[in-house]
Amino acid sequence: MAEECNLRHALGVEGVSCDAESCVFWRAVEHLDIAPAERVGCALEYFELLEDGEEVAGWLLSLKRRLEERP
């Protein structure tokens, strides 16, 4: 099984695979010129965005869902 989604795991949702480099959060920071070799695994973990707990994780998941719905 692929690596588990850290965002969903932080909210108690188990068994959802990580989107890796196709995650909307990696796409949202393409302008930062992060080398492709550094874009491994979870973008939220790379930027340490899940350290503030479940409230931030819930907001980020809702943002991810809204971004994924956009054309």
Question: What spatial distance separates the first Cα and last Cα of the chain, rounded to whole Å?
Answer: 29
Residues in the chain: 71
The pLDDT of residue 4 is: 92
**Structural domain boundaries enclosing 19:** 6-69
Q: Is residue 62 part of a domain?
A: yes
The pLDDT of residue 1 is: 53
What is the spatial distance between Cα 66 and Cα 60, in angstroms, rounded to a whole number? Answer: 10
Count the domains in the chain: 1
pTM: 0.74
Residue of 58, 48, 66, 64 whose CA lies nearest to 9 = 58
pLDDT of the chain, 71 residues: tens digit per residue = 578 999 999 999 999 999 888 888 888 888 888 888 888 888 888 888 888 778 888 999 999 999 888 87
Q: Is residue 35 part of a domain?
A: yes
Q: Is residue 1 part of a domain?
A: no
